[in-house]
Amino acid sequence: MVELYRATIEWNGSAKLGTDFLAAASRPGCKANLIETGTEVKLVVTIENNSIQSLRDTVDELMIALSDIEENHQ
């Protein structure tokens, strides 16, 4: 049996920031989807890997990238 680990990150906010987050989440191992919810958007990122350490590394890298983008928008 092959193990598969999955993490899902969800975020709600402005369309401008959501578009930038979507671009950052468009990387190997990540599936990202931006959904319009009226005046805001919802970003859903799913990360899958067969190694829990690799999953963690990808999640950490993505969170750092999203944090950097958020800081630059303030």
In the chain, the percentage of residues whose pLDDT exceeds 90 is 85
The predicted structure's pLDDT at residue 1: 67
Report the CATH number that the domain containing residue 55 is assigned in CATH. Answer: 3.30.70.60
Tell me which H or E stretch contains 33: strand 30-37
Domain count, the chain: 1
SS3 content of the chain, % helix, strand, coil (to 5): 45, 35, 20
pLDDT of residue 58: 96
Average confidence score pLDDT of the chain? 94
Other Cβ atoms closer than 10 A to 62: 21
